[in-house]
Structure 1
Amino acid sequence: MPEGSAEKHVKDGRCKTRREFSAEEKIRIVLEGMRGEYSIAELCRREGLAQRLYYIWWEEFLEAGNKRLSGDTERQATSGEVTGLKREMCDLKEVVADLTL
């Protein structure tokens, strides 16, 4: 067996057992838990996630709502926006350099 293949199998196993949830799925699960039709334990068992993870999402959900309702509209820039701003900054620096000369 080649060196490193055991590590690859362990890593592959972890990746297959870890499920990625989209933002929409997280919101749906948190709202379903808030409705109270099922216990949190039952909901988490059905969705295949740890209860602690549910409560982390729940706290983030409430915090985001609180920020939004208090008027905080700050958000993270997308990579496309950052690239565009960097390009614009370079263009402006060139104009300043030309004007200075």
Structure 2
Amino acid sequence: MNKTSGTSKDAADKLVKGIKRKTRKQYSAEEKIRIVLAGLRGEESIAVLCRREGIAESLYYSWSKEFLEAGKARLSGDTARQATVPEVKGLRSEALALKEVVAELTLENRLLKKSMIGDGEDGE
């Protein structure tokens, strides 16, 4: 009997964890920046700030570290970033259009060369 109650308790715990995970608040980049900047201002302690915002202090410190590292990279001139999906699609379509133009010009060039060779032979 203990085995069945133990497994049902495990199943219930898994269900509760799944619900908590799905209902966990997702913070936007703007919210994260606002919270980190509030902490950097130092008007209140980090513990109070985190309690008010409903986040763990460890989460605040990881956001703060990411924020400062991004600023450091930006100031040092490292501006490499990942391309967005629309940018990638635009670049792909542009590359395809350019390839088509190159193919047309190559074909046109070959036809002109053949006509020049043919004209030269007729003139002799």
Which TM class, normalised by the smaller chain length? Answer: 0.7 to 0.9
Q: How many percent identity over aligned positions?
A: 64
What TM-score does the superposition give when structure 1 sets the normalisation length?
A: 0.78
Deviating 4+ runs (over 4 angstroms):
6-13
What TM-score does the superposition give when structure 2 sets the normalisation length?
A: 0.65
For structure 2, the residue ranges without an aligned partner over 5 or more in a row are 1-11, 108-124
Match of 1:46 among 25, 45, 52: 52
For structure 1, the residue ranges without an aligned partner over 5 or more in a row are 1-5
Q: Distance in 1 between matches of 2:90 and 2:83?
A: 11
Q: Distance in 2 between matches of 1:39 and 1:26?
A: 17
AA at the equivalent of 2:22: C
Aligned length: 95
Which structure ranks higher in relative contact order (CA pairs < 8 Å, sequence separation ≥ 6)? 1
User: More helix per residue: 1 or 2?
Assistant: 2
Task: Output the aligned Cα RMSD.
Answer: 2.3
Paired position in structure 2 for 1:15: 22
Paired position in structure 1 for 2:82: 76
Structure whose alpha-carbon radius of gyration is higher = 2
